[in-house]
Every structure is written in C-alpha cells, then in structure tokens.
A and B are shown apart, each in its own frame.
Chain A
Amino acid sequence: MPKPIAQALSRRTATTPEASSIPYWAWLLPVMLVIGAFYIYPIIDALRLAFTDATLTGGAESYTVRSLQRVLSNPALPTILSNTAIFTAASVVGQQLLGLSVALLVVRGERHHLPGMLVLRTIVLAAWVVPGIANGVIWSMLFSESPFGAINGVLRLLELPTVAWLSNPANAMLSAIIANVWQGTAFSMIVLYAALKSVDPSLYEAAAVDGAPAWERFWFITLPQLKAAILVNSILITIQTLNTFDAILALTGGGPGRATEVLSLFAYNTVFYQFDLAGGSALSILLLLISLVLAALYMLFMPKRDM
C-alpha cells in the first residue's frame, strides 16, 4: 500500500485521546437504553403481572401465583398448545418449501435471462405486505362456504364436490395454515434467494464437469450451502408464526369451537374476553419461553463458522 494512503487510513482509524478516555460501556449506553425501555422492560412487566391478580377492570393488585396456576391448569391448554404446534410446524415447513421453490425458480430464471423475474419477485412480495387482518379477510372470502364463496364456486363450475374449508375443524386448521403460508412465503423467498445468490458458481461448474444430475447438485451443493440461511429463516418465521393471531382472528376467530385457537390468540382472548391481565401475561411469558427454547434448538444445528 502506498505510504500516503496508509498514513491517511491510520489517521482515520486511530482513536483520539478524548475517545479512548470514554469507558466502553458508555458507547453501548444509548442502545442499552433503547433496548431496555422498549424490549426488556415490557418483558419484565409482563413477568411481574403474571405473578399478580391484575385485571383490566381495575382494583388493587396483589402478588400471587394463582393466576399462573389457573392458566396452566386450564383444561383447554393442551388443545391450544397442540393447535399451536401444528399451525407453527406446518407453516414453517410450508413457508420454507414454497419460499425455496420460488427462490430457485427466480435464480434459475435470472441465470437464463428470462423476462419477468422481477415481476415474479414483486408479486410474491405483495402478499408479504398485506396486513394480517386483511390476509384473514381475503382468505375468508375465498374459503367462504356460502353459495357465492370463491373457491367452492370454482369447484362447482368444475362439477367437483365442494369443501367445508372453515366449518370442518380439521379443514379449518388447514385453511389457516394455507393463509399463513401464502403470506409468509415471500419472506422465506427473499432470505433464501439472497443465500442462493451467494453460492459460489464454481461449485456447480465442478459438479457439471463431474456429470452430477440436477437433484445431486441440489442435494449435495445447494442444500448444504443454504443450511445456515434455512436455520436462521426457521428461527425468524417460527417466532413470527407463534405470534400470529390477527389473520386467524379474521379468518376463523379461533373456531369452530377451539379448532384454530393458537396460543397467541388464547392470550388475546384471555385479556380481552376475561379481562384477565395476569392470565394473559402468564400466557405471553409461556409464548416467550417456547420461542426461546425453539430458537435455542435451531441454534444447535447452526454450522459453527456461521455463529
């Protein structure tokens, strides 16, 4: 490196005496304050409320573990947790598979200079910016079982039997998953598209020279190269799906019965139907714990160099 440039860089990167006299934690103070005020404090307050008998109807609060006991002994909780597990697992798998498929399609299309790839990405992304409530309303019109319901109307035109999309408990869960996957696929597509673009093309060239068929290139090159992105994406969309309740609220309201009531919707109902702030807080903490445990599990599989 030429000497003048090296000197200039040295001047730019050297810490001034004033800067070096400031303790390191002072630099972190602003971000710690923001995180503390807007992230840590609400969690601590929710934790505190979980150990009270606070309600939305007011009155003096006192500290107790009965709210927690009441929530954990609720006979509906196993059903709620089971719904949450099915909804989350199916949504994460569905979003990953569809997101990867669309990303592979776009990358392959770009490699062959096909027109319309940008339009395809934009169309998929459009679903992502739709608010959850609107997503639920859109799909409730599509899945409507009335004589003028959209999907069943098409099935009738094709002289196929109609489907009880929302009134059958099993189908209602499937419908909620489809609506969530439709919305979340775009996010997975973007993450995996970015990862695919960073795969070294020489790996594919070498494989082609060796005569490896497409599925082997996908299995032995693409997937291992995407492992870190897939795991990071899994963490993000798992947490996002666990917190999803607005789309379900608009689509099924959690019904029929409790067939599509997930943990986040149950917490919402606990606060806004029962006015039980303490119970809702306890459920929120439970949701947080589940998210942390799942995130930790995913991290176990993360390649060490990517951590």
Chain B
Amino acid sequence: MIRTNRQLFDEVKLGHNWAWKLLVARYEKLVMSVAMRCGLSIADAEDCAQLSWMALYKNLDSIRNPDRLGGWLARTTRRNAMRMVKRLVVRGEYIEGDGAADSKLLLSDHEAERLEQQVHFEYAINQLDDRCKKIIRELFYSPKGDSYREISNRLGISENSVGPIRNRCLEKLRRILKECGFL
C-alpha cells in the first residue's frame, strides 16, 4: 500500500517507527545529495544529514504541510550544510566535497527543487515491477536512441510488445506518483 507524506507523517506523530523508516527511505537520498552538492565531503555530509533528520524529529509538530516535506528537508539541509561549510572554512578544515563540482557553496532553490522532483520520481520508479522499471528507465534516462527497435533489442522483448508495455508502465508510474501526492 502506497501512502502519502501526510499519512506517513500522522503515523510518525503517533509514534510508529515503521512510518518513520518509510519517510527516511523516501528522502534519505535527497538529504545526502543536498548536503554533498553544498560542497561537503561524504563524512561531513553524513553529519549534516543527521542534523537534518534530528531537526525533523524535533519539529514534527510545527510542520504544517507534510506534502511539501521534501522542500522542508532540502531547505533545512542546505542551511545546516552552509553553516558547517562556514565553520570548517574558519577553522581551516574545509575539504572540498566529492559532490561539489565547482566548489560553489550555494545550491539554488531551483536546483533543490529539481533534486526533490528527482527523488520523488525515482521513488515512484522503484515501486514498479522489474520490467516496468527497465522500460521506464530506458524512456527517461537512456542517452541512446529511444526507437522501439533499439529498446526491444536492449530489453530482449519483441518490437511489437514495446508500445503496449510502455503504455501500461507509464500509466502505473503516473498512478503511483498521484497516490504518493507527487503529481
């Protein structure tokens, strides 16, 4: 059963660990990716991520719109990461993170939003069966051509089946995104 953020949030507030684990599974990559892209090393990003999750735990009652939890976590993590970077720079301990391609210490709102979308999208893909996962990844991520013949060759299915399978998988993906409240 797929639950929206709001439903998981209510369960967490009732003290249910399983709901917390599901929320963590949904957003752990977002938190780590934001921390890394703010220029932290892996070790520092992990400390930063821990701070963000603790902040969520402490602020459960004050979050008014759980549907926008991804945005809240991204902003909180960015704030924590920037504080950490400043502190590390002052102490002369700053090591440029593996995730910071050009040592920019800012992650724009737009980039954070795109990361959130990517996390939601990947979460939904991971709820699909293996065949749909493969075909959806081909459709959205493959750098190669996306003709039915090429897709059928890569996935080992007949060319005539690609169209109907693609339709079914896209519909499933859309339904999951809707059920999660991401669309």
- The yes or no verdict on A and B being binding partners is no
Binding site for A on B (CB under 8 A): none
Residues of A participating in the B interface, judged by any CB pair closer than 8 Å: none
